[in-house]
Amino acid sequence: MGTARKIIIDTDPGQDDAVAILLALASNDLDVLGLTTVAGNVPLDLTTLNALKICELAGRKDVPVFAGCDRPLRHDLVTAEHVHGKTGLDGADLSDPSFSIQDQNAVDYIVETLRGHDAGTVTLCPLGPLTNIGAALQQAPDIADRIAEIVLMGGAYFEVGNITPAAEFNIFVDPEAAEIVFKAGCKITVMPLDVTHKALTSRAWIDELRSINTPVTNAVAGLTDFFERFDVAKYGGTGAPLHDPCVIAYLIQPDLFSGRNVNVEIETESKLTRGMTVADWWGVTDRPKNAMFMGDIDRNGYFSLLTQHLRTL
């Protein structure tokens, strides 16, 4: 693990979060220091339970799991059981975990970990609402200079919204936290819906996973089958966007993605567009560029990277 990139995955599993975590755990290029959970797709008790179940499935009970914020910084929680099912991980019947979460709160863990490592050596990978990261930056502004990079799934430009006509779910749930993150001055890479809506699963990929026939590939096939039913009905077409693994795939193989370095501001006020990521894609303002906003993905490369890694667990 000497040269492996140190990451903390902040997550609200979620089927696609689960695949992202499994991908990270399968990669020799990444050293997963810990998982921090946040309320999002389902309430915090379930996202935390799900994080433990995923580590158990991967045979990685050594990965510490920390529970974080159970609601957004200022508003009520919005969840997405209509997409992910009641448990958040509908589609696979995963065993109950045989290990528990750490006592420390996720926000304190993030702060302590960043302060305890050399500056610029720990990358944060948020896959859910940005509540924990926003809270950590609020509590300890000094960590902003210590974060190597924040690579997150959230937002949209051309694709606009999935939970409202204007907003993507992760940003919509906690726009105030997102605003703190985008204003923090850290290096930020964004995987918005513009990318993830091109990362569509296919029947052939799910069949391939089933033919590999390991507990992990069978679980991912089941989770993906469940996850697909909502998106196929919503968007038409053949598969579902496998959002969150884009974050981890980027860390392993960045050339799968392309985008632009732009200014991104978060709308926190408007009734109609709250949670919108206002990205200056066309460079029509002189606002400072604060994020690498991805726009495209090599879809085939992405799914073969996933298969290559998942089959090793």
Give the interface with ligand BDR as residue ranges (CB under 6 A). Answer: 14, 16-17, 41, 80, 83, 127-128, 153, 162, 168-170, 243-244
- 64 three-class SS: coil
Q: How many Cβ atoms are within 10 Å of 55's Cβ, its own excluded?
A: 22
**Rounded to an integer, what distance in angstroms lies between the CA atom of residue 107 and that of residue 134?**
9
Tell me the torsion sign for CA atoms 101, 39, 22, 155.
Answer: negative
CB burial of 256-291 (b: ≥16 within 10 Å; e: otherwise) equals bbebbebbbbbbbeeeebbbbbbbbbeeeeeeeebb
Q: How far is the CB of 138 from ligand BDR (least distance, A)?
A: 22
Output the six-digit token pair for 241: 């966007």
280 binds, among ligand BDR, Ca ion, none (CB under 5 to 8 A by kind): none
Could you list the beta-strand ranges (E) of 115-230. Answer: 122-126, 147-153, 188-191
Catalytic member of 84, 197, 243, 309: 243
Nearer to ligand BDR, 111 or 227 (CB): 227
- From Ca ion, ligand BDR, none, which one binds at residue 80 (CB under 5 to 8 Å depending on kind)? ligand BDR
* 40 versus 146: smaller Cβ distance to ligand BDR: 40
Given Ca ion, ligand BDR, none, residue 275, with its beta carbon under 5 to 8 Å by kind, binds none
> Minimum distance between the CB of residue 38 and Ca ion, rounded to whole angstroms?
9
Answer with the entry of ligand BDR, Ca ion, none that 169 interacts with (C-beta below 5 to 8 A by kind). ligand BDR
Neighbours of 202 (CB within 10 A): 17
Residues binding Ca ion (CB under 5 A): 12, 14, 17, 127-128, 244
**Judged by CB, which is closer to ligand BDR: 228, or 244?**
244
Catalytic annotation on 117? no
Least distance between ligand BDR and beta carbon 114 (Å): 23
Binding site partner of 83, from ligand BDR, Ca ion, none, Cβ cut-off 5-8 A by kind: ligand BDR
Of residues 25 and 111, the one with the C-beta less far from ligand BDR: 25
Q: How far is the CB of 90 from Ca ion (least distance, A)?
A: 15
Pick from 190, 293, 209, 294: nearest CA to 23: 209
> Toward ligand BDR, which CB reaches closer, 111 or 240?
240
Q: How far is the CB of 254 from ligand BDR (least distance, A)?
A: 20
> Nearer Cβ to Ca ion, position 134 or 280?
134
Q: What is the DSSP string of 229-284?
A: HHHHHHH-SS--B--THHHHHHHH-GGGEEEEEE-EEE--S-TTTTT-EEE-TT--
Distance CA 70, CA 173 (A): 12
Residue 231: which of ligand BDR, Ca ion, none does it interact with, CB under 5 to 8 A by kind?
Answer: none
Sheet order of strands, 30-37 included: 65-67, 30-37, 5-11, 122-126, 147-153, 188-191, 291-297, 257-262
What residue type is assigned to position 16 of the chain? D
Instruction: Report the C-alpha gap between 226 and 106 in whole angstroms.
Output: 29
Query: In whole angstroms, how close is the CB of 141 to ligand BDR at the nearest point?
Result: 26
Active site residues: 243
